[in-house]
Amino acid sequence: MRVTGLYAVTDARCCAPEGRERIRAALVGGARLLQVRCKDLRPPVDAVRALVSLGHAHGATVIVNDDVGLACEAGADGVHLGREDMTLESARAALGPSAIIGVSCYDDLDRARNAAARGADYLAFGSFYPSRTKPHAVRADPSLLTAARALGKPLVAIGGILPENGGALIAAGASALAVIDGIFGQNDIEGAARAYLRLFEEIL
């Protein structure tokens, strides 16, 4: 499974039962990675399992944010780990060698080097631009992506990314653009996803 292209990250509305059609629209629009992120509650395992099936039906890789146990129970393809989450080694032991484990590296190239050496499958940097989801997040410079290319891992950019500014991050080295509000905060979710997809078609 490749970590590349549009990486759709769910918002709170997507975790509700009626949110499945919102996610379907993003997948139809071209998202090939989906992160199930419900920060304020743990969604039911059956609901996440249904999203995994939906993602797979559209050829997408499905990642669970933070919760390794939920990823295991729901049959997800992997997990995304932040600074306060389970260690990469423990997550690998729980999920197995074929799971995709991504690590948030914020604006820290040394953290990225450490994660790469310990077997992370992708490295996420950001926030690159002001973000409504995390307005106080540390800001990262696109030059980090260029420097991190030497680590030989797929690089995910996140934070306030729009079709108008995402191209610069791809050019700097991002393999994938992780987007929440730019997709799920829009009235036309499918159309919004297609706008990001065009960035990769134009640049790569």
Q: Catalytic residue positions?
A: 37, 104, 134
Question: How far out from the chain centre does Cα 57 lie?
Answer: 18
Of 67, 149, 78, which Cα lies nearest the Cα of 120? 78
Of 120, 199, 121, which Cα lies nearest the Cα of 166? 199
CB-facing half-sphere around the CA of 143: CA atoms within 13 A: 1
Find the distance separating the first CA and the last CA of the chain, reported in whole Å: 18
Judge whether 127 and 160 are in contact, CB under 8 Å: yes
Which helix (H) or strand (E) segment holds residue 179: the answer is: strand 176-179
